[in-house]
Amino acid sequence: MSESAATRREFLVAAVAVGSAAAGVAVAETSAERPLFAYIGTFSSPLKDVLPTQVDLPPGNGRGIHIFRVDRRTGGLTAAGTYDLGTSPSCLAVNVAADRLYSANETDRVGETKEGTVSAFSIDAKTGALTLLNTVRSGGAGPTYVALHPSGRYLLTANYFGGSVSVLPVLADGRLGEASDVKQDEGAVGPTKASSVQPGSFAFSGHDRTHAHQILPDASGRFVLHVDLGQDRIYVWKFDVERGVLSPAAQPWVSLPAGDGPRHVHFHPNGRWLYSIQEEGSTIVLFDYDSETGGLTARQTVPSLPAGYAGSNFCSEILVSADGRFVYGGNRLHDSIGIFATAADGRLTQVGNEWTRGNYPRSFTFDPTGSFLYCCNQRADNVTIFRVQRETGLLEFTGGYIPVGNPSIVVFCEPGGGVRG
């Protein structure tokens, strides 16, 4: 090879390398600048102008699903529209591809049908706008929770007023099919007075009948858990992913103390521990989880409230941080988030308690990076924003108040980058 040819070849190689590096920078910049959207579900039943059908829920102040663009640096939210929906889309779920959103429409009855509905939407990657794909029956009244199965092939639904759970197939285009399975909770309900309640509490919410409050798959998708508040039970199901059918696990359920009212559960990232928060008992229970059988064994119970509190309280959300170091539990009426450090064996120690800056915190969510926590203050009609202190787990209020009528849940979506958080 001549000297000139070698020089020319070296120049071309260098040019390609520089071009590739530039392309890498461009990709990184594009990823950093990719829009991040937040969707806030609400109680919105009075929207008769939007959906002129009768619903049995109390009036709500939301407009349906509120859409926001997220400032990744500050955690701030900028309004980007709403999808007006008068059936109280109180729980939302986004698929892994970040192009579909699902809502549990928490109605007791639509028209003459004593049953709720679930809706599927497509997500516009540039604007975050939603387009309705379809709406199907949920398999029971008052669907209050939806979760996607890890396979992406099914949406799992808990019907609070109907006391049932259902499996809805997700079709190829993201629409929902009719339920492939519905399971009705049967058996006695617990007492109106919680066993573990703090002094002076008159907390009573769901021990009038069966109330399926949450449904959640484990990481493998082999088992599905659902919580019945009225029965004080956590059910465990084996899941047939080919047929979309639930069947009782070897240990079909585990009982919580009578009247305590388990509301939500959340897995630790290691998959070996499960934390349950009790709505009426104001407790958090640590369970050991057997991923081979779905078995649960209770090992620790701690109060969700700070020491010395007396009076009524209704617990709400429970979340484990992505690194597994902290657990957060919501307290309504006390209007706080209890902050707990996890020991090496999963046991909890309360390290803080943060006022939510609003009334009746129904749920809260971390942003995709875990840097911010967003709290839905249902009766205050706002969402408040907190910065998460990574080393201590404590929360620092950013001063951010986002006005939303009767907010119930926040979920995040990064089109093109997948759902995170």
Could you tell me the pLDDT band of residue 19, with boundaries at 50, 70 and 90?
very low
Residue 142 zone, left/alpha/beta (φ > 0; ψ -120 to 50; rest): left
Could you tell me the pLDDT band of residue 114, with boundaries at 50, 70 and 90?
confident
Query: Which pLDDT score is estimated for 24?
Result: 42
Query: Which pLDDT score is estimated for 31?
Result: 54
Beta bridge partners of 387: 372, 396
294 in Cβ contact with 236 (< 8 Å): yes
393 in Cβ contact with 325 (< 8 Å): yes
For the whole model, what pTM was predicted?
Answer: 0.91
Identify the CA nearest to 79 among candidates 34, 131, 38, 35.
38
pLDDT in tens, 20-49: 333 444 444 355 678 999 999 999 976 554
User: What are the residues whose beta carbons fall under 8 Å from the beta carbon of 201, sequence distance 6 or more?
Assistant: 194, 280, 282, 310, 311, 312, 313
Query: Which pLDDT score is estimated for 45?
Result: 75
Alpha-carbon torsion, ordered 211, 261, 158, 163, to 10 deg = -20
Q: What is the mean pLDDT of the chain?
A: 90
Could you tell me the pLDDT band of residue 57, with boundaries at 50, 70 and 90?
low
